[in-house]
Structure 1
Amino acid sequence: MKFAAVIVLAALFACALAAPAPDVEILKSVSDVLPDKWSWDVATSDGTAVQGVGEAKSLGKDEDSIVVHGSYEWVDEKTGQHFKVTYVADENGFQPEGEHLPRV
């Protein structure tokens, strides 16, 4: 009996998560993919935007890496506050910056 209750609760939770999102339109969707370089630029009507450029990079003998420069931004639906993160992701890891993020 407990197993059936867990299944019912899991099903209800899945239904809640599958509820349709508010109508959001894609305003911009551009991408360019080449063998050693790629870019993307996406914006939606709810204030979300994602941009980036990536490229393959040679670090020396038989050692390659990928370098990505980009940003993403959104508007908090509860407070209306705008957030933006710019970043570099390379052989040194993911390095985000944003006014709302702590500086080290």
Structure 2
Amino acid sequence: MKFLLAFLFVAAVSADVSHILKGGPDADAPILKQSLDIGVDGSYQFNYETGNGISAQETGSLKNVGAENEAQVAQGSAQWTAPDGTPIQLTYIADENGFQPQGAHLPTPPPVPEAILRALEYIRQHPPKPDTRR
């Protein structure tokens, strides 16, 4: 349950829904399709689609049930249109390694400068020697 709440928080923060909350034309979009299936084993599946082109689907389950490293895992996708008219497509995996979103609209880090790449390669080829001064 904590994971689902965390996911919903991340999804709400990730999506700019201010135009919906202000009572714009999307505020009364009808729900065209919606389903939810929750298993007794902790697995679940949901999907929905609205009249204004928003849709999402997700499946999740428990991983390593009963073990010390038990984790809730999920994967899914969502589609909507940004306020500027850009179509947004988001896919994600959420597991013991965190939330891992993918989408063309997400910011990407700048490339690593060539000098840094050369320095890292030098370090890889010349690992530090162990300290023997004891």
Q: Give the share of equivalent positions with the same residue, in percent.
A: 36
Map 1:74-85 onto structure 2 (within 5 A): 74-77=80-83, 79-85=84-90
Give 1:37 shift: 0.8
Give 1:59 shift: 7.1
Q: Are the structure 2 counterparts of residues 18 and 92 from structure 1 closer, same or farther at C-alpha, using a change threshold of 3 Å?
A: closer
> How many residue pairs are counted as aligned between the two chains?
87
Which structure 1 segments of 5+ residues have no match?
Answer: 1-16
Tell me the distance in 1 between the aligned counterparts of 2:23 and 2:107: 34
Tell me the distance in 1 between the aligned counterparts of 2:55 and 2:73: 20
Which structure 2 segments of 5+ residues have no match?
Answer: 1-19, 110-134
Q: SS at 1:63's partner residue? A: coil
Aligned residue number for residue 37 of structure 2: 32
Aligned residue number for residue 50 of structure 1: 56
CA RMSD in angstroms, aligned pairs only: 2.3
Aligned residue number for residue 101 of structure 2: 96
Tell me the distance in 1 between the aligned counterparts of 2:21 and 2:82: 20
In terms of fraction of residues, the more helix-rich structure is: 2
- Segments of 4+ in structure 1 off by > 2 A? 17-23, 59-63
- Bigger CA radius of gyration: 2
Tell me the distance in 2 between the aligned counterparts of 1:101 and 1:19: 24
In terms of fraction of residues, the more strand-rich structure is: 1
Tell me the distance in 2 between the aligned counterparts of 1:37 and 1:27: 24
Q: SS at 1:73's partner residue? A: strand
Tell me the distance in 2 between the aligned counterparts of 1:56 and 1:38: 10
Give 1:18 shift: 6.9
